[in-house]
Amino acid sequence: MNDLPLKNDIAARFLPLIVGLMVYLGTLCLVFTLFITQTTRSWEMQFTSHLTVEIPTSPTLASGPLQAQVLTLLKQTPGIRQASAVPPKDLEKLLASLLETKTPIDATMLPILIDISLEEKKNLDTPALTKKLQSISPHIQLIDDREWQHQVSGLIDMIVLLASLLTVLILGTTLVTTTFATRTSLLIHRQIIEVLHLIGATNTYIGQQFQKHALRQGLIASTIGSGVACFTFGSVVFLLKKAGFSAAFDTVFFSEALCIFALAPFITSVAMMIAARLTVMRALAS
Amino acid sequence: MSELIAQLVGVGLHYKDGPEVFRGATFDIEKGSFQFLTGPSGAGKSSLLKILYLGLKPTWGTIHLFGENPSRMHPSNLPLIRQKVGVVFQEFKLLDHLTVIDNVSLPLRVQGVDRKTSHQHAQEMLEWVGLGNYLNVYPTTLSGGQKQRVAIARAVITRPQLLLADEPTGNVDDEMAMKLLRLFEELNGAGTAVVIATHNPRLLTQYPRPHLEIKDGTLTKSASPQ
C-alpha cells in the first residue's frame, strides 16, 4: 500500500506508455546489434582462416606441374594447416550459379583455385608467400580477402557502436522521463509529503513510496514493451526464414535474444526505481 | 526537578515579508504537564506550536526539544524528534485518499511498524475516540468533529511524549469539546505533556489549567486559575 496517491497521478499518466515504447525500441535495437555482431563474427572467422591461390590457365602455361609445385610449397609453409585444389566440377557449379544464362562453360579455361586453411594461432607471412609463389610463376596470385574484410568489419563495428549508443540513449530517455515525472509528482503531493514529514517520516520512507511505485510501473510497462518486441522479432524471423535467410539465425543467437527480452523489463524497472529514489532523495534534501 | 520536554529561550518569529509575530518567548514544558496556549486570533499561537513541532524555524532565540537543539542537528535526525511529538493540526491535515484506519496508523507505519500491528493499534485508538465504526471510511465523508477525533487518534497513536493541539475544539460544540478535553486529560494522565492552543476563553473557565498567553507579540505565563 502507498501512502501517496501516486497511482492516480496525472503527471505520470503517460510514463508507462513512454517506457513501454522505449523498451520496445531498445530491445529490438539490442537484438539487431546482437544479430550484426554474431553475423560479422562468423563471417570474419571464414575470412581470417582462409586464403586462395589462383593459377591462371592458358595454352602457354603448363598449369598441372605448376599446381603440384604450388601445393608442395604451401604444405612446407609454416602457418598453413591445409591446402587443396578446388575440384573443377565445383568451380563449374559455382560459376554456373553466378551466370544468369545457361552458357556452356569450358572447364579447361577456368583457373585453378587452391583453397588454403590457415592455422589459428600462427601468423602467415603473406608478402613472403606471394614472393615465393611468384618465383614459381609471375602469373600466380595469392588472393587475401582479409584486407577489404577489415574495412567492412570496421564499418560494421561503427553500425554496432551506433546501435549500442541508440540503446543507451533510449534507456537514458526512459530515466530522464522517470525523473521528470517523479519531480512533478513531488510538486503535486508536496502537502501530503509535508504531513508525512510532520508525523515523523524520514526522506528514505518517502523515497521508498516513490521507488516502489516506479518499480511496479516500470515492470508492467517494460514487460508489455518487451513482449511486443519479442513478438515483432518472432514475426521478422518467420518472414526472413520464409524468404530463405534461415542460416543467419542459430540457436546461440536465439537464446541470447530471448535473454535480452527477458532481462530488459528487470533492468529497466530497477533503473527506473533507482532514478525515482535518487530524484526524491535529492529533492527532499535540498 | 521535573524532566524538561521542551525549553524555549528568547524565541521570536518574524515572517520574511510580514510583521513580527512575537518575541522573547521563554518557557519550559515539563514532562506530564498540561497547559493552554491562549491569545486572540492571529496572535501567533499556531506559529509557536509550529516552532515546537519543527515545522518552522524561529527567527530569534534557541529551542531545545528532548535535550537536543534542532537547529544544530543534521536534517536526517529531525524525524526522530518529530516521532516523539504528536500534533493535532487546526485544519486536521488528514490524507483524503487514505481510509480513517490508514490515516490513524500512518505514524506507526512511518516508524516501521507492520501494517497488521499498526491497524490493530489504530482500531483501538479509534474505539477510544468513539469512531470504532468508521474504520474503513474516507475522511471526506466525516463531519468536522469526527475529523477532529481522527486527527487526535493519529496524534496520540505513538504515545508521544509531547502532544500539541491547535484549536482542537474549534470545530465542535461544547459537549464534544469537553469530551475531547477529557481524552487529552486521559493521555496526560499517562505521562504525555499536553499543550492546547485555543482562543476560546470559556474553555479555560470550564477547564482550569495553567496557561501561556500571547498578546501583542509578547508571551506571558499564568498559573492555574482558582
In this predicted structure, what is the pLDDT of residue B209? 85
Q: Which of A79, A112, A139 is the last residue of a domain?
A: A139
In chain B, the residue whose alpha carbon lies closest to the alpha carbon of A201 is B110
Per CB-CB distance under 8 Å, the chain A contacts of B73 are: none
Residues A32 and A99 in one domain: no
| A96 and A215 assigned to the same domain | no
Residue A21 Cα, gap to closest chain B Cα (Å): 31
Q: Which of residues 163-222 of B touch A (CB under 8 A)?
A: none
Q: For the residues of B187-224, what is the DSSP string, one character each?
A: HHHTT-EEEEEE--HHHHHHS---EEEEETTEEEEEPP
DSSP SS3 for B116: helix
- A171 shares a domain with A261: yes
User: Is A51 part of any domain?
Assistant: no
Per-residue confidence in pLDDT tens, chain A, 286 aa: 688 888 878 777 889 999 999 999 999 999 988 888 887 777 776 666 778 888 887 766 666 778 888 888 888 888 888 888 888 788 777 777 777 666 666 666 778 888 888 887 667 788 888 888 888 888 888 888 777 777 877 888 888 888 889 889 999 999 999 999 999 999 999 999 999 999 999 999 999 999 999 999 999 999 999 999 999 999 998 888 888 776 667 788 888 899 999 999 999 999 999 999 999 999 998 7
Q: Which residues of A touch B54 (CB under 8 A)?
A: 198
Domain final residue pick, A94, A119, A139: A139
Q: In terms of domains, do A266 and A244 share one?
A: yes
**A1 assigned to some structural domain:** no
Domain-embedded: residue A52: no
- Interface check for B93 against chain A (CB to CB < 8 A): the answer is yes
* Three-state secondary structure of A247-268: HHCCHHHHHHHHHHHHHHHHHH
The four Cα atoms B137, B140, B141, B145 give a dihedral, to 10 degrees, of 100
A176 and A274, same structural domain? yes
More confident residue, A21 or B16: A21
Quickly tell me which residue has 535495437 as its cell.
A29
Of A3, A199, A203, the CB nearest to B98: A3
Check whether residue A239 and residue A103 sit in a common domain.
Answer: no
Instruction: Give pTM, 2 decimals.
Output: 0.77
Q: A195 contacts in B (CB within 8 Å)?
A: 93, 95
Looking at the structure, do residues A32 and A62 belong to the same domain, yes or no? no
With respect to residue A50, please indicate whether it lies within any of the assigned structural domains: no
Q: A73, A136 in Cβ contact below 8 A?
A: yes
Count CA atoms closer than 13 A to A222's CA, side-chain side: 29
Which residues of chain A have a Cβ shorter than 8 Å from any chain B Cβ?
A: 1, 3, 5, 8, 192, 195-203, 205, 285
Are residues A192 and A276 both part of a single domain?
yes
Digit-coded pLDDT (tens) for A73-124: 888 888 888 888 888 788 777 777 777 666 666 666 778 888 888 887 667 7
Nearest to A196 among B75, B110, B115 (CB): B110
Asked if A129 and A247 sit in the same domain, the reply is: no
Residues A191 and A216 in one domain: yes
Question: Whole domain around residue A184: which residue ranges?
Answer: 6-44+149-285
Do A29 and A165 share a structural domain?
yes
To test the contact with chain B by mutation, choose from A2, A6, A188, A199 the residue with the greatest count of B C-beta atoms within 10 A, namely A199
Q: What is the side-by-side strand order in the sheet with A141-143? A: A80-85, A112-118, A50-55, A141-143
A197 and A268 part of one domain: yes
Q: Is the pLDDT of residue B56 over 80?
A: yes
Q: How many structural domains are present in chain A?
A: 2
Please identify, among A139, A168, A193, the residue that sits at the C-terminal boundary of a domain: A139
Q: Helix, strand, coil: what percent of chain B each, to 5?
A: 35, 25, 40
Q: Which pLDDT value is given to residue A203?
A: 94
Write down the pLDDT at residue B126: 94
Q: What pLDDT score does A63 carry?
A: 66
